[in-house]
Structures are given as C-alpha cells and as structure tokens.
Chain A
Amino acid sequence: MKKQFTISVFTENQIGLLNRVSIIFTRRHINIESIAASESEVIGIHRYTIVINEEEDLIIKVTKQLEKQVDVVGAFYHTMDEVVYQEIALYKIPTTVLVAGGKAEEIVRNHNARFLAVEPGFTIIEKTGHKEETQVLFNELEPYGILEFVRSGRVAITKPMKQLKEYLKELEITSLNN
C-alpha cells in the first residue's frame, strides 16, 4: 500500500548532488511530492527533506540507493508519525478586497496568518502549517481573487534519531578502517 514517507538525506556540499539525488527517483518513475534543501546544524553538511508517496518496500530500496552515493553521508526514511514538519505558504491578494469591508481580513486572522506586506495594489499573506491547513486558507481566499500563490517544500525534523554530530563521528571511524 502506498503511504506518505519523509526521506532525510544528509550530504557533503558537492555541486550536482541534488541532481544525483533526484535521478534515483526519476529513473524509477517516482514522483517527488516536495523537496527542500538547506545546510544542517553541522557546517558543510546539507540536508534534503523529500516527501514521497510510495510503498515501503520501494522506499527502502530507494533509501539504500541514496545511501550508496559516495557523497551521501546518510539517508533515512520515516513515516508521518515519526516526524514533526511544516510548510510555508505565501498568498498575494488584491488589497482592495481587504479594505472593501468583506470577510477577507477576518479569514486571514482566523487562520493565524500574517500580513507580510501591504501595498496599494496587493497584500502578501504568510501562513505556516501542514499542506491541508494552507490549502483551507487558499480555498477560503479564492473567491476574493488570489493573484499569486506559492507553497514551500516540507521541512521536517524526525522524532527518534541519533544526533548528526555523533553519527558523523562514527562514520569517520568506519570509513577510516576501510
């Protein structure tokens, strides 16, 4: 059965590695739901958060293929209940709908969204949450006219996992004795 999984990949900072990582999915015709990359708490180590809808058996194989890449420090997969995650969504709507006395402003406040910028022509709103939550806000604002919408990839922190620094120390020893 297909389920949603979050894969965390820790890598050295090497040009082209994102390509190497994504090839592992594309060659098996797996769609990446979302991907986010940034530097981790350890300088020089980057982390990718990849969301995939697939069967666990395939996720295991893909994780091993990721791990196999020379510059990949480690790859781990987790089910939804093993991670705490967020996404950020930005909405651009006409400022006129806010000042016209309609319900738009109330909707934004009810969702605990923030006003990031207000210009005469448009207003930019930010909401952080799970996809379902940012989607509800989208649906409610849609009748007022959404000029632009963007949602980030998921960033996730896993509940049970070794500290990256400890993991790196162990790896340093295993790779040396090779």
Chain B
Amino acid sequence: MEELLLEKVSTITGAQAVVQCLLAENVEVMFGYPGGAIMPVYDALYDYQEELKHILTRHEQGAIHAAQGYARSSGRVGVCIATSGPGATNLITGIADAQIDSTPLVCITGQIHAHLLGSDAFQETDVVGISMPVTKWNCQITKAEDIPTVLAKAFYIAQSGRPGPVLVDITKDAQFGNVDFEYEKCNQIRSYVPNPKVDNLCVKEAAVLINEAKKPLVIFGQGVILAEAEKEFKAFIEKAGLPAAWTIMGLSALSTNHELNVGMLGMHGNYAPNKLTNECDVLIAVGMRFDDRVTGNLAQYAKQAKVIHLEIDPAEVDKNVKTTVALVGNCKASLKQITALLKDQKHTRWLTNFKELKAIENEKVIQNETNPLLGDMTMGEVVAQINKITKGEAVVVTDVGQHQMVACRYAEFNQTKSSITSGGLGTMGFCLPAAIGAKFGAPQRQIIAVIGDGGFQMTIQELGTIFQTQIEIKVVILNNQFLGMVRQWQELFFDKRYSATEMVNPDFQTIAKGYGLAANKIEKRSDLEAALKEMLTHEGSYLLEVMVEKENNVFPMIETGASVSDIRLE
C-alpha cells in the first residue's frame, strides 16, 4: 500500500486526488454506479482496480445500502459513489437510513461544471440542498485544490462521535482541475466536539443509583456496537447482576443466550422487558435514543423509574425521556468508569420476574411460532431452524416488515455486528444490497439475507451484483404473498380491508436461475431442515424461497399510542 501513495507533493488531477484520498483513508472497497459527471473519477479508478475494489451495483440505492451493510459488518466507513442528478437522488433513501441509524458513510457524487450550477443543466440536481436534512455534514467542491482537505474532513466527521453519513459533491471541472496533492488526515474541527468528556460527578451519582436499585433494568442500543464497548457492557451488567434488554439496533451486542439478556424492547419485542419497564426502579439506557417504537406512549413510559442515560450525542439527552442523570460521552469510557464503582449484586428475585413473564410469552406465542406442529409453515420456525444449523455464528441481514420482527425476535447471535437491519427508517429493499455490502465487510462470515417477498422485489436487481461479483450470500425469502406488516395492521385496525397488500409474485426460482444462482422453493415443513442445510452448505450464493402462512400476525404487540405495559400477547 505504501508505494501506491504518492510522494509528498505532486501535481495530479482532482479525480486522481479523490482516489489518493480514498487510498490514504485505507478504503479497500467502494460501491457505486458511474455516469457523466463522475466519469473523471471513474477514469482515475481504472488504474487502481486491485487496490481499490469498486463494486458495480445495479442501482445507486443498491450501492448505498451495500455501503451501509459494509459499514455495519466491518465497523468501518462505507464509501459509495454516484453521478449527478438521478444518480445522486437515488442515494437519498440510503443516506436518510444511515443518518437515523448512525452509520458512518462517505458518499461522493459528481456534479456538473461549476459555471453551469443553477442553470438547470443536464443531470443537475442540488444534491447538497436535498441531502442537507439527512446528512451529518455535506459539502460541494468546485476547485480541485479543495479535494484533499474536504475529503479528510468527510472521513473524520463520518466516523467520529456519533457516526453518520457525509456527502461530498464534486463538480466535473474540479475533477479535471489540477492540485498539488498533499494529504493530511483530519483530527480536529474547531466547531465540533464529537466525544464529550464524561463528567465524573455524574458517574458517581449514577453508580449510587444503580447500587441502591432493587429493580434495575438496562436497555441498550447500537451505541454499544458503535463504541465497540461490548466487553465493557458485559462486565457492567455482570458485575451488578443487571437484566439487559435491547433495541433492534442493539441486537447482537450481547450474546442472545447470555443469562442477563432479557430480550427485545418495543412494539414487537418480548413480553417481560416491555412489561417490566414500567416496574423497574432504575432504568439505565446505554447508547439508545428512546425511539417511539421502543417507548410506546411516552406519558406512560417508566414514570416510576429514575433514568440514567449513557449517550454520546448531547441532543439525545432529555429529547424524549427526562433523565435523572446523564453520562454524556463515549459509553466505552463511561461503562468502564461506572463498573468500577458498582457493588457485586445478583438481583435474583427481580430476575425471576423476567423468567416468569418469559414463560408466559413462551407458552402463548413463542412455542406456536417457532415450533408449530400443524398448519402452514411460520416465519419463526424457519429462523429457529437456521439457528440450529448456524449455531448463532452467521450474520443475519433483514429487510423491513413481519419477517424482520420475527428474525430479530428469534435469531440467535454469539458475536457482535451480526444483525444488520434498517431500524429507524424502516427501508424496504435494504436487505439484499446490505447483505452484499456485509459480505465485503466480513468476508470470512456466513451472510444470510432474510427477506420478505415484498422487500425483495424492491431491490431485486442487485442479484446482478451478486452474479457479477460471485460473492456468497444465502438469500431466504419468507413468502407470505402479502405485504405482511401492513396486512396485519389492516386486519387489526382497518376491519380486514386489505387495500393494496396482496402480492402476485413472479417465479423467484426462475429469476434466480437467470442470474446464475442456485435456487430452491419449499412449501412443506418436512422439507425445511434439509433445504436449509443444502443452502448453507452450498458453495456460492443460493436463493431459498419458503412459502409461509399467508395471514399470520407478529405478536406480542404494543399498539400505537399504547403503553409498553399494555403489550398484547394475542
């Protein structure tokens, strides 16, 4: 790598500078789609095909979701690149997704010549304006000489503090222009304090609250994964015997089989942690943002509890839930500090409450969903069967809807960064391209994409990317011939008026075949285990379509506007 980096200062084009910046930031793979206004950069990339792998997706939305999947499975910055106008606007959904799920991305878009800006030129779009509400930072470059400093800033901002997407728009003349290239990584921006220092007094105050608590409950989110604080988190809960429940974004930060892991929070989460949120005396939130899907009705959310919030983003503190003590800063640091002050405790009686409620959920919901004896196949039993074969070692990438809730509820994980899903934005079509990116981010791991028949068809064209790159992804389509989650709501809240939710689907096996993928379709329970084994042992990508019950509902459920403790089991 060293010899590829240019000597200190040399005059190169802006486009070459872009490539040099990416190399200097140790970018190994990027996802993109070429077009007129970004052609100079693509031309420069041509000379670095070995060092800087470019994955040609079939749509810019595919490129950005792949970059997200890459970032999520690797913990590194995802890079994607597109042309101006439609290329740039096609990135927007993924940028918004990355913004709300705090995914570090650097998106590079081409732009028309600077002298044409504002003239409605061919493929001109004000992408800086459009992306402003959904980027952590963005910037337009009109001069080649600005490329190194702006890209250095972009990488620094994307991955520091609370990560997020950054967009850099580069006019074509800036790509053609010359620059005396010199690259210096950015490590400070005056107006930006990404890692606030945790206040020691607050740490002490929080430790006292936890030590005195009789019924403490920890709720954790992706902040634990983003801070790479999984070890610190585990030590923290183990020392004080704290039951810990996760948001969908926090899934896999703690092994699903850990004895203190009490399950998933929120609308389709587990019975015990939701119910007991309104009984705990101290609620300790770690790297999560009290999303409405987690809290239900805020007016009836944990009102009895003292709230401790470990959070890196000051704007999240007191945004939705008033805190008693806030530890603003990186949770890797604050967890370590607070653990040192904790007493060894077990909270055996309190933990029994979780076990009792879990037993109720098990009997009323989980058994029927993961191990039904009669009727059509359920999504839950497919996920349970996958667990048996993978033993929690695989990365499970999900789309959005019923299958997502089921997969997140039942999938088992032994290691972190193993669940990749679109949490905050709920972007259908996320899964397939994100799974591709996840494979590039963690090439040694088994990647299983669990998708509904609806979301699959939103980015189905990315099968072409799998075909061209020959990477290995296992695609499981849970086909209920409906947009299942919307249908469930129609059944429960709209008198079963199934408006525009029934799907007449194509033959997915034939489509897979066209893309050179091995494929299978099963409709009987007796074929499930063998079909999954065949898929998972197959060398190369594989598509397995599983026909599941058409009108099954995901339970438990907290209805919109209801309190977490009003969670329904049926």
Contacts and interface: CB of A to CB of B under 8 A. Distances in A.
A68 B408 CA distance: 31
B190 interface: yes
B313 A168 contact: no
A56 interface: no
Given A65-B315, A68-B313, A68-B315, A175 B132 contact: no
A148 interface: no
Interface stretch (A13-21, A82-90, A92-100, A116-124): A13-21
Interface string A62-74: 0011011011110
A159 interface: no
Nearest to A12: B191
A64 B328 CA distance: 13
A23 interface: yes
Nearest to B128: A16
B192 to A, nearest CB: 5
B188 A178 contact: yes
Given A61-B319, A64-B315, A68-B313, A23 B132 contact: yes
B190 A175 contact: yes
Interface in B152-167: 157, 160-161
Contact of A171 (B133, B191, B318, B319): B191
B132 A70 contact: no
A178 B191 contact: no
A50 to B, nearest CB: 17
A11 interface: yes
B188 A176 contact: yes
5 contacts: A19-B132, A20-B132, A64-B319, A71-B192, A178-B193
Contact of B190 (A23, A68, A171): A171
A174 interface: yes
A147 B128 CA distance: 39
B133 A16 contact: no
Contact of A64 (B189, B194, B314): B314
A178 B194 contact: yes
Interface residues of A, number: 27
Interface in B69-128: 128
Given A16-B132, A23-B132, A175-B191, 18 more contacts: A12-B191, A14-B139, A15-B140, A19-B129, A20-B132, A61-B315, A61-B319, A64-B319, A68-B313, A70-B191, A171-B190, A174-B197, A175-B188, A175-B189, A175-B193, A178-B160, A178-B194, A178-B195
Contacts of A68: 313-315
B439 to A, nearest CB: 32
A68 B140 CA distance: 20
Contact of A71 (B133, B191, B315): B191
A14 B137 CA distance: 11
Interface of A: 11-12, 14-16, 19-20, 23, 27, 60-61, 64-65, 67-68, 70-73, 168, 171-172, 174-178
B136 interface: yes
Contacts of B139: 14
Interface string B173-217: 000000000000000111111110100000000000000000000
Nearest to B137: A70
A15 B138 CA distance: 10
Contacts of A168: 190
Interface centre among A11, A64, A67, A171 (most CB of B within 10 A): A64
Interface string B326-364: 000000000000000000000000000000000000000
A70 B194 CA distance: 9
Interface of A is mostly: helix
A21 B318 CA distance: 21
A176 B190 CA distance: 8
B192 A67 contact: no
Nearest to B160: A178
Nearest to B320: A61
A14 B197 CA distance: 27
B451 to A, nearest CB: 31
Contacts of A15: 140
Nearest to B136: A70
Contact of A27 (B129, B133, B195, B319): B133
A73 B191 contact: yes
Contacts of B192: 70-71, 175
Contacts of A172: 190
A20 B161 CA distance: 19
- 4 smallest A-B Cβ distances: which pairs? A64-B315, A73-B191, A70-B137, A68-B315
B217 to A, nearest CB: 25
Contacts of A19: 129, 132
A64 B193 CA distance: 13
Nearest to A11: B191
B315 A67 contact: yes
Nearest to A27: B133
A23 B133 contact: yes
B223 to A, nearest CB: 16
Contacts of A65: 315
A16 B129 contact: yes
A67 B129 contact: no
Contacts of B133: 23, 27
A76 B197 CA distance: 20
Given A12-B190, A73-B190, A178-B160, A67 B314 contact: yes
Contacts of A71: 137, 191-192
A175 B157 CA distance: 12
A89 to B, nearest CB: 32
A61 B316 CA distance: 9
A174 B193 contact: yes
Contacts of B190: 12, 73, 168, 171-172, 175
A37 B315 CA distance: 24
Contacts of B137: 70-71
B118 to A, nearest CB: 13
Contact of B193 (A11, A20, A61, A171): A171
A177 B329 CA distance: 13
Interface string B302-331: 000000000001110111000000000000
A174 B193 CA distance: 7
B402 to A, nearest CB: 30
Contacts of B161: 178
Contacts of A12: 190-191
Nearest to B191: A73
B134 to A, nearest CB: 10
B428 to A, nearest CB: 23
Nearest to A177: B197
Contacts of A60: 318
A72 B191 contact: yes
